[in-house]
């Protein structure tokens, strides 16, 4: 039975009932709706050849949407109501609110899924009758990639997309924002020097950082650089601002990198961390201290960022909901070749997180004395948004002597020493910075295939680089 037909059936049932006013009548109606929803789910499972069994609470459920607080029936094909019925929430409202989130977290805890309150691939798999749920052990690089092949080929990407990037102005410490096609054509500088960290917004504008008003602030402008305007006033929180992004729910996230390790200092400032505010500048607050390089989910309901531990020293990827709940670690230091995670990026469908995977630079100022012979393994990997085994995509390998590096480059100028800074182009392709003799930006599909160079500059610090045109 088609899901859209199932939703229509519920609507028709409601229309066939006369208007009621008594509590008993309302309770009876709700009970009948709950029964019908359960029957619909059973029919869906039957039509797909699957059996219906009890999983308690609810019955087996096949969902397709990803999301958390703020999701509604109108945007999920009625699946919020189906989820609420499955979790035995009464009445079903069709709105994913705090009550639904709490019930989902309880269900996740009881069924071996990370208790995030977010519906993603692991939760969907656990709710099906197959009960085939990916293992949530400390992630390593040996897992098989379960993702289906990419639906957009490289020629389509190059012909129908536009990148927004930044570069350093010649002879200056300042940066400028520009747009360019993935094939290297159509480069256009926007608004001159003094702008950086650009990302596309859900409605096709550009969010970026600029000091044109006297202090680092977040701005939004049109694709062509026109109609630039400042969002709120964040000058009071201090240090340099990085990686601003805007979610569909109107939430803005950015990092305050005050006191982050540089060549001159290594003491995080009091406001160091990931901040959020509304698009109109209201509601400014620190979401998670000392967690940097945030990546905001397209929905705006959750994000990932990098936290550093001191004893032992590591950097790992964490996720947190933007309502302060669901703090969860996604990467772990179990593999000596891949102990760290950094520079995360959430896929547009919110099912996967791409990130730098390998050995981070040495702690603090010592990292600035390192060279390519002491880096260790540095690759791009992905991990399910709800946690699980990391899947390494690139095949870069370290070398321990300059002679070995020169020999490798003489044999193959594209031989890869390191990969870093991944960001999703769409749900299928990832762009990243590649360290080789012919270094620059490369792209690879989410199955670790079709790795190829792009004739464009280094991306900079933006998180949402591409939009389709």
pLDDT digits (tens, 9 = 90+) for 283-326: 999 999 989 999 999 999 999 999 988 788 889 999 999 999 99
Higher per-residue confidence, 254 vs 43: 254
Average pLDDT over residues 253-265: 65
- The per-residue pLDDT for 264 is 42
- Alpha helices, DSSP H only, in 130-277? 154-159
Q: Minimum mean pLDDT among 180-184, 201-205, 266-270: which range?
A: 266-270
Q: Minimum mean pLDDT among 31-35, 113-117, 355-359, 416-420: which range?
A: 31-35
pLDDT digits (tens, 9 = 90+) for 356-411: 999 887 766 666 666 677 778 999 999 999 898 899 999 999 888 888 888 888 89
Residue 9 has pLDDT above 70, yes or no: no
Right CATH for 154-468 from 2.120.10.30, 1.20.1250.20, 3.10.180.10, 3.40.640.10? 2.120.10.30
CA 325 distance to own-chain centroid: 17
Closest CA to 161 of 428, 440, 368, 386: 428
Average pLDDT over residues 166-188: 87
- The per-residue pLDDT for 146 is 37
Average pLDDT over residues 136-141: 36
Residue 141 has pLDDT above 80, yes or no: no
Query: What does CATH list as the number for 3-127?
Result: 1.10.101.10
- Alpha helices, DSSP H only, in 304-411? 402-411
- The per-residue pLDDT for 59 is 62
Higher per-residue confidence, 15 vs 379: 379
Q: What residue segments make up the domains of the chain, in order of their start?
A: 3-127, 154-468
Average pLDDT over residues 96-117: 84
Residue 230 has pLDDT above 90, yes or no: yes
Question: Do 375 and 362 contact (CB within 8 A), yes or no?
Answer: no
Q: How confident is the model at residue 236 (pLDDT cuts 50, 70, 90)?
A: low
Closest CA to 181 of 200, 203, 159: 159
- The per-residue pLDDT for 260 is 52
Residue 110 has pLDDT above 90, yes or no: no
pLDDT digits (tens, 9 = 90+) for 20-77: 344 455 455 444 444 444 444 444 433 333 333 334 444 688 888 887 887 888 778 8
- The per-residue pLDDT for 42 is 40
53 — phi, psi (to 5°)?
Answer: -130, 165
Average pLDDT over residues 418-432: 92
Instruction: Round to whole Å and give the CA distance between 82 and 96.
Output: 11
- Alpha helices, DSSP H only, in 48-162? 73-76, 79-86, 98-110, 121-127, 154-159
- State the average pLDDT for the chain: 78
Residue 18 has pLDDT above 50, yes or no: no
């Amino acid at each position: 039975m088609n899901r859209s037909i199932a939703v229509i059936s519920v609507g028709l049932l409601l229309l066939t009932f006369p208007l009621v006013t008594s509590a008993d009548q309302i309770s009876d109606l709700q009970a009948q709706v709950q029964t019908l929803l359960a029957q619909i789910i059973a029919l869906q499972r039957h039509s797909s050849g699957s059996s219906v069994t009890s999983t308690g609470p609810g019955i087996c459920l096949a969902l397709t949407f990803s999301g958390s607080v703020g999701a509604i029936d109108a945007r999920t094909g009625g699946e919020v109501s189906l989820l609420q019925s499955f979790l035995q929430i009464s009445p079903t409202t069709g709105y994913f609110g705090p009550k639904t989130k709490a019930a989902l977290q309880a269900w996740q805890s009881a069924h071996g899924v990370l208790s995030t309150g977010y519906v993603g691939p692991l939760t969907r798999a656990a709710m099906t009758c197959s009960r085939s749920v990916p293992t949530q052990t400390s992630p390593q690089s040996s897992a098989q990639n379960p993702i289906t092949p990419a639906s957009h080929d490289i020629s389509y990407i190059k012909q129908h997309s536009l990148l927004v990037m930044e570069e350093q102005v010649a002879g200056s410490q300042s940066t400028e924002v520009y747009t360019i096609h993935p094939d290297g054509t159509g480069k256009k500088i926007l608004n001159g020097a003094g702008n950086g960290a650009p990302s596309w917004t859900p409605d096709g504008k550009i969010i970026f950082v600029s000091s044109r008003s006297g202090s680092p602030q977040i701005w939004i402008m049109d694709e062509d650089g026109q109609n630039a305007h400042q969002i709120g006033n964040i000058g009071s929180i201090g240090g340099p601002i990085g990686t601003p992004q805007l979610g569909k729910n109107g939430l803005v996230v950015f990092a305050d990198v005050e006191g982050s390790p540089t060549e001159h200092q290594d003491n995080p400032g009091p406001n160091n961390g990931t901040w959020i505010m509304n698009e109109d500048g209201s509601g400014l607050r620190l979401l998670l201290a000392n967690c940097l390089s945030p990546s905001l989910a397209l929905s705006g309901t959750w994000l990932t960022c990098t936290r550093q531990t001191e004893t032992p020293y590591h950097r790992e990827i964490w996720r947190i909901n933007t309502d302060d709940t669901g703090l969860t670690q996604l990467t772990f230091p179990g593999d000596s070749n891949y102990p760290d995670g950094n520079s995360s990026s959430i896929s547009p469908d919110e099912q996967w997180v791409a990130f730098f995977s390998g050995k981070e630079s040495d702690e603090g100022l010592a990292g600035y004395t390192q060279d390519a012979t002491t880096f260790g393994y540095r690759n791009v990997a992905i991990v399910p948004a709800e946690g699980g085994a990391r899947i390494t995509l690139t095949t870069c390998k370290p070398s321990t002597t300059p002679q070995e590096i020169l020999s490798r480059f003489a044999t193959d100028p594209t031989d890869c020493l390191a990969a870093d800074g991944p960001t999703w182009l769409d749900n299928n392709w990832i762009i990243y910075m590649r360290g080789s003799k012919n270094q620059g930006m490369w792209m690879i599909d989410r199955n670790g295939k079709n790795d190829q160079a792009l004739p464009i500059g280094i991306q900079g610090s933006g998180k949402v680089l591409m939009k389709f045109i």
